[in-house]
Structure 1
Amino acid sequence: MTTSIFVNLPVANLQKSKAFYEALGFKNNPQFTDDTAACMVWSDTIFVMLLTHAKWQTFTTRPLPAKGTSEVMLALTCESKDAVDRMSDAAAKCGGTADINPKQDLGFMYNRALADLDDHIWEAVWMDPAAMSS
């Protein structure tokens, strides 16, 4: 069995969050989506479960993170610098925040950080495959 990651995120508005992640390039898997959760697929091994606050609280009694705080920063690789820019631009157009941290262009690596509708932080990252093999 291939190792996969399921990132579970509490969201205030499931439908708006689902649309936001679709605009970033995620695909919805309706098999694991209902009125309380949406499974958003990035790749064959990376999934984001968007959970209503009520659903989230069935998994843990810990309090929801306050808006504007950082509980984790998640990074996703993109196939090009343009794809990084498209993801960040889509976030800004759909109610998220682009470039919450300074954009980084190190030549062999390029990344931009964004926040979703609930202030969950994501980095879109491109790395030069030639530089990675040396």
Structure 2
Amino acid sequence: MRMIFVNLPVKDVEASKAFFAALGFGHNPQFSDETAACIVIDENIFAMVMSHEKFSDFITGEISDAHKATEVLTCLSANSRDEVDDLLAKALAAGAKPWKPIMDMGPMYGASFQDPDGHVWELMYMDMAAMEEAG
């Protein structure tokens, strides 16, 4: 079984934990301390939010400022259009900023936001049955 860990530098680990909790994501204290927190997005998907000092231990060079330049797009699948809209609303209510306009391409529907540290998150629903019919 493969797992994915998205490692993100954050200014405030506790604020990041609160932000992701507002989206309904869990927290694994086994892999967390005052410098980092393991956010459980799904069974095999995790975000490791780390203080800048801790993140610096894992990289060479500088930490990019995600408010000024996009360093990565993290896209999460959704089970429905409603789930895309719901997660976007939760993110914005918890302090995220809108990023790109809603994307509605028939069987594909998506939204995006920047978390409080500027990291871009995309949410995407794909109606596979409709895509197969169109193909």
With the length of structure 2 as denominator, give the TM-score of the two structures.
0.92
Gaps of 5+ in 1: none
- 2:121 matched residue in structure 1: 122
Matches for 1:1-134 after TM superposition, within 5 Å:
2-66=1-65, 67-98=67-98, 100-134=99-133
With the length of structure 1 as denominator, give the TM-score of the two structures.
0.93
Count, aligned residues: 132
- What SS does the corresponding residue of 1:64 show, helix, strand or coil? coil
- What SS does the corresponding residue of 1:33 show, helix, strand or coil? strand
CA distance in 1, matches of 2:115, 2:55: 17
Which consecutive segments of 4 or more residues in structure 1 shift more than 2 A? 131-134
Q: 1:76-105 CA deviation, whole Å, 9 max, x = no partner?
A: 01111111111111111111112x112111
Residue 61 of structure 1: how far off its partner (Å): 2.8
Would you tell me which structure has more strand in proportion to its own residues?
Answer: 2
RMSD: 1.2
Gaps of 5+ in 2: none
Write the letter of the residue equivalent to 1:96: A
Moved more, 20-29 or 47-56: 20-29
Matched residues, percent identical?
42
- What SS does the corresponding residue of 1:30 show, helix, strand or coil? strand
Q: 1:1-57 CA deviation, whole Å, 9 max, x = no partner?
A: x01110000000111111111112211011111101100111111110000011001
- What SS does the corresponding residue of 1:118 show, helix, strand or coil? coil
